[in-house]
Amino acid sequence: MNADTPLLLFGETFSPWTKKARWALEYCDLAYDYREYTPSLSEPGLRLRLRQMTGTVSVPLMFAGSQVLRESWDIADYAARQRGDGRLGDMIAIKPWNDLSEAALAQGRTQVVRRILNNPQALEEGLPNIIPQKMRGPLRFMAYDAVRRLDKKYAHLLKPGSLRTALLKTQEGLSQSGSDYLLGDFSYADMVMAAVVEVIAPLARHDPPLGPATQKCWQDKALAEEFDDLLAWRDRLAAAPATSYSQFRSEA
Ligand SMILES: N[C@@H](CCC(=O)N[C@@H](CS)C(=O)NCC(=O)O)C(=O)O
Domain spans, the chain: 7-83, 91-248
- CA 227 from centre of chain: 19
72 in contact with ligand 1, CB cutoff 6 A: yes
Q: At the topology level of CATH, where does 7-83 sit? A: Glutaredoxin (3.40.30)
Spatial CA neighbour of 193 closest among 174, 179, 175: 174
* Single-letter amino acid code for the residue at 87: R
Determine contact, residues 148/116, Cβ cutoff 8 Å: no
CA distance 228 to 220: 12
**pLDDT one digit per residue (tens) for the chain, 252 residues:** 566 899 999 999 999 999 999 999 999 999 999 999 998 889 999 999 999 999 999 999 999 999 999 999 999 999 999 999 999 999 999 999 999 999 999 999 999 999 999 999 999 999 988 999 999 999 999 999 999 999 999 999 999 999 999 999 999 999 999 999 999 999 999 999 999 999 999 999 999 999 999 999 999 999 999 999 999 999 999 999 999 999 999 865
Ligand 1 atom with the shortest distance to the CA of 18: 20
Q: Is the pTM of this model over 0.85?
A: yes
DSSP structure string for 144-196: HHHHHHHHHHHGGG--TTHHHHHHHHHHHHHHHHTSSSTBSB--HHHHHHHHH
Q: Is the CB of 202 under 6 A from ligand 1?
A: no
Instruction: Judge residue 105's burial from the number of C-beta atoms within 10 Å of its C-beta, 0-12 exposed, 13-18 middle, 19 or more buried.
Output: buried
Check if 60 has its Cβ closer than 6 Å to any atom of ligand 1: yes
Name beta bridge partners: 183: 185
State how far the Cα of 7 lies from the Cα of 18, in Å rounded to an integer. Answer: 14
Per DSSP (E only), the strands in 6-109 are 7-11, 33-36, 61-64, 67-69
Distance, CA of 102 to CA of 192 (rounded, Å): 8
- Give 109's contacts (C-beta < 8 A, 6+ positions apart): 154, 199
Contacts of 249 (CB under 8 A, 6+ apart): 205
Residue nearest to ligand 1 atom 1, measured at CA? 71
